[in-house]
Amino acid sequence: MNLFKSVSVKKDVGRLLISCPDRVGIIAAVSEFLHKHGANIIHSDQHAIEREDGIFFMRITFQLDDLEEKQVFLCDQFQQVAEKFAMEWKISLSSQKKKVALFVSKYDHCLQELLWRWRIGELDAEIKMVISNHMDCQPLVEPYGLPYYHIPVTKEIREEAALEQLKYLKKEEIDTIILARYMQIIPKRMIDVFPNQIINIHHSFLPAFVGANPYERAFERGVKLIGATAHYVTEELDEGPIIEQDVHRVSHRHRPEDLIRIGSEVERIVLARAVKWHVNDQVLVHGNKTIVFPG
């Protein structure tokens, strides 16, 4: 039995995410729709790209009594508004937590950070499993009562390993994958199943120092800032939409091992932020960019 559960949220709170061509009347139409159906707007944020072919983005948090029972009807009714403005949209419920799988290899700092935040209720999701190509992190995961699936991966069996991973993911109806320093390339077949639902932490400030051994290369270049980048996974390695980044100032006094230690601290914080925003539906993807709304 899993003894660690995140804090419950108000079951009648919903989130409406919208992106569409920018034009006059969008906010009024959405507000009128929610008012008509008895919903109370708790929070609203919007952003528009100021160009000739501008795009409008919006996130609304609202409260509606018996929302779980009314969700299907509400979505059916909103379709009329969506078609008028050519919207891409979704309505989600705060009570319907995202089901998360954590992927990890040997480095455990990001895994520990996410599990700790989940335990204290700061990460509002259902962590359902941990998948790893090594056994190193199993003792860390055991106290949380989570399944730990050891699936070895090499370049030669990457596709077969992905099929086995997908079997477990499908069984638990996973909708979000977090690569908590999972040091393997994710095959296209898995990316296709989880578009903009796989989050990776990259141990450098992208687009600088992509690839292997970034801290050694940063040391050789004498950098003054090191950082980390959380991004969605796409077929192009380390080129997916960036969700969050951060940096830490360093100097000539720092050795490579110091950079690794400092970098690890930045990595776990950046990944935790990105995951929190994702599970709270605060992120909208537009092309290869993200719009991240405040919580």
Residues found in the chain: 295
Which residues in 105-232 belong to E strands, given as ranges? 126-132, 148-150, 176-179, 198-202, 225-232
From the list 136, 238, 246, 258, the catalytic residue is 238
Listed in order, strand segments (DSSP E) in the chain are 13-21, 40-48, 55-63, 88-93, 99-104, 126-132, 148-150, 176-179, 198-202, 225-232, 242-249, 283-286, 289-292
Separation of CA 253 from chain center: 35
Give catalytic status of residue 238 as yes or no.
yes
For the beta sheet containing 126-132, the strands, ordered from the edge strand earlier in sequence to the opposite edge, are 148-150, 126-132, 99-104, 176-179, 198-202, 225-232, 242-249
Question: If you compute the radius of gyration of the chain from its CA atoms, what whole number of angstroms results?
Answer: 21
Q: What are the CB-based long-range contacts (under 8 Å, 24+) for 219-223? A: 219/254, 219/255, 219/256, 219/259, 222/252, 223/250
Sign of CA dihedral 190, 194, 199, 202: positive
Helix (H) or strand (E) holding 220: helix 214-221
Going by their DSSP bridges, the two strands 88-93 and 13-21 should be labelled as antiparallel
Annotate 259-278 with DSSP letters as a single string: HHHHHHHHHHHHHHHHHHHH
Catalytic residues: 238
